[in-house]
Amino acid sequence: GYRHDYDGSVLFDTTCAKTLSVDQWVDLRRAHISYLFQELRLFPELTAWENVAIKNNLTGFQKESVLKEWFERLGVADKLDAKIGHMSFGQQQRVAMIRALAQPFDFVVVDEPISHLDDDNAAIMADIMMCEAHRQGAGVIVTSIGKHMKLDYEKTFKL
């Protein structure tokens, strides 16, 4: 629903995406599709925890202990109270992934998710994302023109 400057059709079940109302998009985004945007879209004046809590408070989906475990595994537990605007882009990417997983979804779409991560953090992020997708029975769509997540991809498309 963010852009309409494309040809062809994007369907949700049998409904064309271009015909969805704002309320329908809100429902889709809240319960069916999660995004990690390339530009992250975090709130720089909020802390890392506040950026994740905003999403989790809207969805009521993840336990706080799970979210904090992900912060720990991704090496940003010491940044919970740091303002996003004072964190490196790689740290912000890890927070944005945690936020993306703080909701139910049928698909998680991640755009250039590891561009600023070292291989170890990229592997941890991939593991957390795939475990959560499997737990929810969800699909994963990854776009990349740079670093690639090392995943067992079912299909790969090169454009």
Q: Is residue 4 part of a domain?
A: no
Q: Does any domain span residue 151?
A: no
**Average pLDDT value for residue range 9-18:** 90
What's the CATH number where 121 sits? 3.40.50.300
Is residue 137 a part of any domain in this protein? yes
Start-to-end C-alpha separation, the chain: 22
Q: What integer pLDDT is reported at residue 155 of this predicted model?
A: 80
Number of domains in the chain: 1
Say what the pLDDT of residue 150 is: 82
Residue range(s) defining the domain that contains residue 95: 16-143
- Label the pairing between strands 33-36 and 107-111: parallel
Structure confidence by residue, pLDDT tens digits, 55-91: 999 999 999 999 999 999 999 999 999 999 999 999 9
In-domain check, residue 75 = yes
- For residue 58, being part of any structural domain is answered with yes
d(CA 43, CA 106): 25
Within a domain: residue 114? yes
**Does some domain include residue 9?**
no
| Residue-level pLDDT at 36 | 96
Judge whether 157 lies within some domain: no
Place of tokens 């049998």: 14
